[in-house]
Structure 1
């Protein structure tokens, strides 16, 4: 346990012990700062501590979704699969924590409830649910992009007499579905990953789907010893190549319009060319057309092509039709699955299409829709997150003039380069709104953000600067650049509703929350501000 107490005045408080927080603790400590990390969980992992539902795994290769700052860690750690599961990712982060001796500066089971900036003293006062209060010059919020769970917004949830589970807070000891009548509500990423495994155990499984998912086979496999050794021998080259890509991934990554030749157009392609692309690219084929990302008619053609792939797997025509998305391809983050569509061919699995029979309420015995009543022993809610901003707005953060960050962001969630918001000096965000965050390899994104933050803090210490915050014009200018990249595109169209836009959260302003210009363009923008003497930041 750390020896630092609430009486200590610290250089920095880091919030969150996921990938971003652990690296921030390491790097700031390495630079000579006195740092304390506060974490609400009993252990490290962040998202990968809490999301321990069946089938939880990352959708990027582990060799890419891992720290690059330490070659010793790269050489000492072996991945058992190309796309690691939640338990393996949690073990990895525990290994890193112990290897770097980070635990002595982490306070576990400590939830940050409030943070207030003292203008006269130029410091932050951070309050925890333990009743403690900590004081620091800087706060680094590594609270995660997908770490604020949404409770199911369904009438009668509390009335259910069986077991209620939520994927984002799944029991750490697991759950035995054998012989149970199970409902899974939600078919986002966690639902798509959990459903095939639950189906193998449950006596019956009903999947309640509000909107169908665009998903592709993950192609996961074991990582062989020779393959792992070859990767270790070439890590420098791999990291260099990753830094030059749009998404920070090579082996698996989101396909974007920037990746596709402009002459690849589905509306003018011959039937033979379309068939050949499907034969060569499989489930990736619908994403392989330039015009599908810029032309609504082409996008509909790509969705129809995706529907043909679904119908080729799902045997029941009505079920297959319900599993074909009705919103634009490219609107939501694509999901990588393991046997998802084939699961609906099982005799014990039933799809309930909520477009046809919406849920009316949860009853003591199960779920009642507009069409009928269903009885269950357990209901699993895969209802998603208040993404990007939710983890921060759930903390009572108050900056200059006692202004609330939640209130400020209610109208427009802005942060200069995703790092800081005007009016909240010395509060840094790792992957805040306006950063590439979840649109690129998240681990690469957090490493880059933490390095910028650490370098800025060192710059301030060397130049006797007490506070820093973005100039409001710079913040607005960056927000306009972020908006310009999605305005008029499929991502922000009226028939696209996604957590990127905050559309899954009642009362949240519809606004695209991430920079979609890719990691190279983003890093160039950051380099320009640093080389220009931290353009857009105001120092005191």
Structure 2
């Protein structure tokens, strides 16, 4: 390796998290910072996911930064939901507005990050052959960035083109071609709906049918935008104290407390308005926690599938068999797409894919589906995938891949034991929410902790085993109070063969998460220690009057926010 350059902090990743971390560390803490990203431009996930139909499932007015009030007033939007090109333009504008580009090194992937215990520094190597050291490393690698391509027999023999939606090249033309799509999660639904009118024939290989509701996207008026901007302070106050942080007030009404007629009317109103999170959390308080309430939502969506899809056999294949308990999906006409003459649905749970052939995909019934293009909408090794693909080693040279061999864990979704001065943005067991406000919450809290370490002259700060185990148990307890663990989902690692099924999110909501972070800080950063002179010491004495809240409790059929309060005591 060549010359070593030293920084106070190195940030990895140029998406929402990395850009904000760079700004805070450099401008507020006055640290010398360098940000690396393997991409050719800023944007993180939104740089790579350029597939047709790519759209955020969060409404535009809250899929943005809240910390820059002038930016909130200057940046205009004209659609209810924000597409990939719009998100990318926004983040490119932010990088320029905050004068970040001089401190960003693109086309540079981090290949190694080893903690040097003798020097209390991180040694970082890149794929450009350069090496660096830093006191702190902040990872903004993204929840959904490490692409998951199933190991199908014969894939390399395929004579057509194949792509993964998470690494979509520019200039792809699908017009008039025979296209196959494997995967019907959020991305699959978006790409299927977008390309069906363009391709010659579309074959959808479905493993798990999905509950999806209309997204309700469309233009918004200048009056709407002006109103949002007028009330942004109140909007962000509500978002940061809410459960899912999607810009609406979650319902407090149990589904079974109203008549069947009223329930259907409420569901219909939500269906007409659009939005997956709105349908699950704005209609009733207990869809995610009460099986009876959940069944009502299931039945409503299934009735819509039967109503929309003209072929009864196809409609039946599209009806989910499990609970409505995954990240709630929304679409721009997904079910109606199957009424098109050029669209075919193959149920690969009933009739699995045997192999990829030079001409297409052969299923176990010995039918070969001829294709020119194969698209993998098979998701990601979510949460920890990008960590285990980098050679990250903590104390004693322990690789993070071994540290997480039984599933990824953390303290507060921010730190993991044995990896000092390493802070994760959206690490395992962070909040299950709209991401930008959670990212801001974590970045601001991480920067406060780093400032504390600097002002106290401490060499390192790290999470304790007891704190990490306690947080993991808390996240598991809260998840088990919901219905989410009962459905196979990427949010528990179920989309990747051989991966342990594990809780990977704090599901009590952003408001409760922020209260937990505040309590930790008020208690002298409880659960973190430094090692000044070799012996573990507290980061800071607790503030007077703080009462440690025990992690305990059990609540049946409660809202996610109530679950968090029960778990926190």
TM range (shorter): over 0.9
- Output the CA distance in 2 between the equivalents of 1:488 and 1:232: 37
- Confirm or deny: 8 A CA contact 1:17 1:39 kept in the other structure: yes
- Output the CA distance in 1 between the equivalents of 2:63 and 2:268: 29
Q: Which residue of 2 aligns with 1:360?
A: 354
Greater CA deviation, 288-297 or 338-347?
288-297
- Output the CA distance in 1 between the equivalents of 2:322 and 2:35: 41
The reply to whether residue 305 of structure 1 matches residue 294 of structure 2 is no
Aligned length: 522
**Paired residue for 1:18, among 12, 15, 20?**
15
Q: Which residue of 1 aligns with 2:216?
A: 219
Displacement of 1:368 in angstroms is 0.4
Greater CA deviation, 217-226 or 316-325?
217-226
Displacement of 1:306 in angstroms is 1.9
Q: Which residue of 1 aligns with 2:566?
A: none
Structure 1 gaps, min length 5: none
- Taking structure 1 as reference, are residues 324 and 455 closer, same or farther at Cα in structure 2, changes over 3 Å only? same
The reply to whether residue 317 of structure 1 matches residue 323 of structure 2 is no
**Paired residue for 1:481, among 461, 474, 491?**
474
Q: Deviations over 1:436-458 (max 9, x none)?
A: 0xx21200011111101111111
Counterpart secondary structure, 2:346: strand
- Output the CA distance in 2 between the equivalents of 1:131 and 1:40: 13
The reply to whether residue 537 of structure 1 matches residue 532 of structure 2 is no
Q: Which residue of 2 aligns with 1:65?
A: 63
- Confirm or deny: 8 A CA contact 2:14 2:35 kept in the other structure: yes
- Output the CA distance in 2 between the equivalents of 1:60 and 1:297: 27
Q: Which residue of 2 aligns with 1:338?
A: 332
Structure 2 gaps, min length 5: 273-277, 532-569
- Output the CA distance in 1 between the equivalents of 2:511 and 2:241: 7
- Output the CA distance in 2 between the equivalents of 1:532 and 1:326: 46
Greater CA deviation, 113-122 or 287-296?
287-296
- Which residues of 2 match residues 339-418 of structure 1 at below 5 A? 339-371=333-365, 372-418=367-413
- Confirm or deny: 8 A CA contact 2:4 2:130 kept in the other structure: no
Q: Which residue of 2 aligns with 1:80?
A: 78
**Paired residue for 2:490, among 499, 502, 527?**
499
Displacement of 1:272 in angstroms is 3.3
Counterpart secondary structure, 2:503: coil
Q: Which residue of 1 aligns with 2:205?
A: 208
Q: Deviations over 1:115-162 (max 9, x none)?
A: 100000000001111111111000000000111110132111111101
- Confirm or deny: 8 A CA contact 1:13 1:140 kept in the other structure: yes
Counterpart secondary structure, 2:146: coil
Q: Which residue of 1 aligns with 2:555?
A: none
- Confirm or deny: 8 A CA contact 2:280 2:328 kept in the other structure: no
Displacement of 1:383 in angstroms is 0.8
- Which residues of 2 match residues 261-340 of structure 1 at below 5 A? 261-262=253-254, 264-265=255-256, 271-282=260-271, 288=283, 292-296=287-291, 299-330=294-325, 332-340=326-334
Q: Which residue of 1 aligns with 2:542?
A: none
Greater CA deviation, 80-89 or 225-234?
225-234
The reply to whether residue 42 of structure 1 matches residue 37 of structure 2 is no
- Taking structure 1 as reference, are residues 106 and 326 closer, same or farther at Cα in structure 2, changes over 3 Å only? same
Q: Which residue of 1 aligns with 2:122?
A: 124
Counterpart secondary structure, 2:512: helix
- Confirm or deny: 8 A CA contact 1:428 1:453 kept in the other structure: yes
- Confirm or deny: 8 A CA contact 1:286 1:305 kept in the other structure: no
Q: Which residue of 2 aligns with 1:435?
A: 430
- Confirm or deny: 8 A CA contact 1:286 1:306 kept in the other structure: no
Q: Which residue of 2 aligns with 1:194?
A: 191
The reply to whether residue 104 of structure 1 matches residue 106 of structure 2 is no
**Paired residue for 2:169, among 171, 178, 183?**
171
Q: Which residue of 1 aligns with 2:50?
A: 52
- Taking structure 1 as reference, are residues 527 and 81 closer, same or farther at Cα in structure 2, changes over 3 Å only? same
**Paired residue for 1:182, among 179, 182, 185?**
179
Displacement of 1:243 in angstroms is 1.6
Q: Which residue of 1 aligns with 2:544?
A: none
Q: Deviations over 1:319-348 (max 9, x none)?
A: 111111112112x11111101111111111
The reply to whether residue 515 of structure 1 matches residue 502 of structure 2 is no
Greater CA deviation, 128-137 or 75-84?
75-84
Q: Deviations over 1:480-524 (max 9, x none)?
A: 11110122542122xx21111111112221111000011111111
Greater CA deviation, 16-25 or 392-401?
392-401
Displacement of 1:172 in angstroms is 2.4
Q: Deviations over 1:284-306 (max 9, x none)?
A: 76874556544445544542332
- Output the CA distance in 1 between the equivalents of 2:404 and 2:523: 28
- Output the CA distance in 2 between the equivalents of 1:317 and 1:92: 43
Counterpart secondary structure, 1:200: coil
Counterpart secondary structure, 2:330: strand
Q: Deviations over 1:65-98 (max 9, x none)?
A: 1011111211221113121110110010000001
- Output the CA distance in 2 between the equivalents of 1:271 and 1:356: 34
- CA root-mean-square deviation: 1.8
The reply to whether residue 459 of structure 1 matches residue 452 of structure 2 is yes
- Taking structure 1 as reference, are residues 275 and 521 closer, same or farther at Cα in structure 2, changes over 3 Å only? closer
Displacement of 1:281 in angstroms is 3.4
